[in-house]
Structure 1
Amino acid sequence: MSAAQISVPEFLLNVPYRIWLALGVLLLGLVLAYLTGVINRRLLRRAGVPEVIEGTAFERTAREFDTSTVRILAKLSSYFILAVTVIVALTVADVNYLEQFWSGVAAFLPRLFVAVVVFIVGIVVGDKAELLVAERLRGIKLPELGVLPTLVKYSVVYVATLIALGQVGVQTLALIVLLAAYAFALVLFAALATKDLVASAAAGVFLLLRQPYGIGDEVRVAGERGVVQEVDLFVTHIETDGEEHVVPNHAVFREGIVLIRD
């Protein structure tokens, strides 16, 4: 019988059962990947993730591409299921010449998925930590503190990057050396950036304990004259002629204060 005389049903009957089984696995994987994405997206929304990451740099960037962090994470889970499905389907189809290659891919793929998720979560958490630290430090009028939110952000991202690299097989010793070097640089930088803050805190403790002046006193300090409105651990608030001056406590301690009595 010639090829032209073979009917479609006969052709289908000649297809090895392994191919049909592989196609069934692919179809099932497509459905499972879609359901996984939908379920994960709903779970993340119910967990309040969109509200937590609102305003972060990563979320704003995602919005520019008409997507969101939740959608990206959900799609990653779908793609992971789909990739595993392809590997299983090829295995079922008995593609022997690719067996070694796909076995390596099958071992590496879960680690790559975890690494990508860890990296994305690190970026999101770093952005959120930056916003929280900036909000906490907003009331402290010291220019040295302006770098701390960014420092916190990149510290979180750096640690997440190290964890992600560890997932894809980067040597642990190299990660430890990098982490130790980063920690040393972080401590050194923080010490240099916050030396005035530490000095202000120490001076603030002294001022709060000794109370050489209090709220309502008229004083002259650091070239400013006015009425003391507030004294906290880091700064002293002085108001004069409708203007409020915020004087770091280390300046008060260093230059001294003149208590004006009428």
Structure 2
Amino acid sequence: MQEYIDNIEIEQYIPAIISGATNVLFAIIILLVGLFIANRASKIINRIGENYEKLDNTLFRFLGSVAKYIILAFVLIAVLNRFGVQTASIVALLGAAGLAVGLALQGTLSNLAAGVMLLLFRPYKVGDFIAAAGKFGNVQEIDLFTTILKTFDNQHIIIPNSQIWGSQIINHSHHNIRGVDMHFGVAYKENTDEVRKVINSVLTKHPHILKDPAPFVEVETLNDSSVDFLVRPFCSGEHYFDILYSVPEQIKKSLDEADIEIPFPHRKVIISKESE
């Protein structure tokens, strides 16, 4: 009799055991499939950044990680739902937590969004000389939140990406050949052809100034006390600053040697003595 009762009690638990085992089995399958899909999606996104040279790997590694964890979040919800857990409240809680975190990290998320745009459109890359957010320097590092510049005097400048993306960006290294604009003024009494000849002689001797395209040397402005020349030699990008900071002194010395006056602002006062 007792054995019969025990068998009945066991039979009562069999459906629950089978149901629990089934749920565990399906949960394991969902988890394994979800992990496979999450890892696969992450690898596919990462591979996109690796296969295309113009795309930045940093951005696609980040997007791959985001995709992976979003998929894993849905997998976790599916597993909990399999065991009868009410996931609607969990989803609502996660949404509220995400909103709270987003409001608390508005500045950080703004930098993140700007970093994504910079890495996607790549207005500059590591090694370029840029002027942005009121700073100028050589780009040392670009990440999702900041851009790091190194100045000529070895300052280490960290700029939030939102400040760069929201302002004008000048990339001095974008083109291989650069024109270097310089301005020189001479006195009105000087012969402009002679002045042009002296300037061209300096430019011709410089080892880093290109012959093609030829330097541009022409009168730009007739000022109150000087005739101003615009001088634009062309060079490879890496020699831009060498020419910008060396040629003006060379031209000044050559103009002095040719006895060509470089005027400075002055006022001429003429006093006439009236006859008595």
Q: Per the shorter chain, which TM-score range? A: 0.3 to 0.5
Between Structure 1 and Structure 2, the one with more helix by share is: 1
Larger radius of gyration: 2
Normalising by the residue count of structure 2, what TM-score does the alignment of the two structures yield? 0.40
Give the number of the structure with larger relative contact order, counting CA–CA contacts within 8 Å between residues 6 or more apart. 1
